[in-house]
Structure 1
């Protein structure tokens, strides 16, 4: 199974809401491409103190950190020369991801949806989930998709929650083609609520 690292945890806003800093060039042999950390992507935060345990999260937001913004003073060197003479300066820019935890894999590889008892730590590595892991995280004993973490997401009261859930449902429709009609009903309901509730 190929694990594709994309970044590390740098802070948390709550027990389930984390900020992941994407690896820059030079921090990893193969820096992630923007498509690797797209909106709605499934990721895992490996808990180093608990071997085999990984929190499962969804990327719901992206923030760009740029210390040059608002700096109107003259530059001492062109940007291409800064890369040569002051490579550390470029590290001040960062891409941060909002990741909401929706469950975990235990040490035996068993998937659990909901709020985990354990929390991630600073510098905890974050990687993409494989397609097989996404399937294993969602499939129930009857072979049907389960979304028990939906109430957890809806409780966040974030403007991007409805589009996030719709992106998840679209992904699951590909993994569970026999359940597309049932998933489509859920998606249509979410789309309708996302239009009606703000207006009400």
Structure 2
């Protein structure tokens, strides 16, 4: 299994999920930032062991309720640890995940919009390299059936996400590098021209 990252805390749509990254103390060791870096592929595990959703990290948000609370405080942070040991630090790192496929109970990978959604608190882990290769290989060839789903998202982070995915796949599939280069150049051109109208 890949390294655990966090758990699902909400969804924005059928394929758009929010994962709260485990904080120090929730897991030892806490996930390193590169475990949930932009463009990383993850598995959102199912409670019933019927497979997993496969997603890609497309956004990171840092949550800090104390931001903007610049008024006087009755206790310093150090005093709170002594006098209120049950005080919870409410900061969190949230990552946005777009589901691009799933694995069934037999471990077979499928790309596209999954029929089933996941549950709140479903564990999220990073895909291992062999799982990432298996997800992108069908009949011995590179398969990218989820690209139209990503391209249809109305999000300014999708074009750089697609470029990051293609770059990563070029490392995993060196025999497909020329095809991926054509795709990357096409996407880069569209990214440059489309905002102009």
Alpha-carbon distance in structure 1 between the residues aligned to 2:23 and 2:176 = 39
Partner of 2:144: 147
Q: Which runs of 4+ in 1 moved over 2 A?
A: 75-91
1:58–1:102 contact (8 Å) kept in structure 2: yes
**Cα shift at 1:76:** 2.9
SS in 1 for 2:54: strand
Q: TM-score when scaled to structure 1?
A: 0.94
Partner of 2:31: 32
- Within a 5 Å distance, the mapping from 1:30-179 to structure 2 comes to 30-49=29-48, 51-86=49-84, 88-141=86-139, 143-179=140-176
What per-residue deviation string (whole Å, max 9, x for no partner) do you get for residues 150-193 of structure 1? Answer: 11001112101111011111111011101100000000000010
Say how many residue pairs are matched: 197
* Residue 180 (structure 1) aligned to one of 172, 177, 180: 177
Partner of 1:192: 189
**In the alignment, structure 1 residue 3 sits paired with structure 2 residue 2:** yes
1:5–1:125 contact (8 Å) kept in structure 2: yes
114 and 85 in structure 1: CA distance in 2 versus 1, 3 angstrom threshold: farther
- CA-based RMSD of the aligned residues comes to 1.4
Show structure 2 runs of 5+ residues with no match.
none
Alpha-carbon distance in structure 1 between the residues aligned to 2:176 and 2:72 = 59
Q: TM-score when scaled to structure 2?
A: 0.95
SS in 1 for 2:59: strand
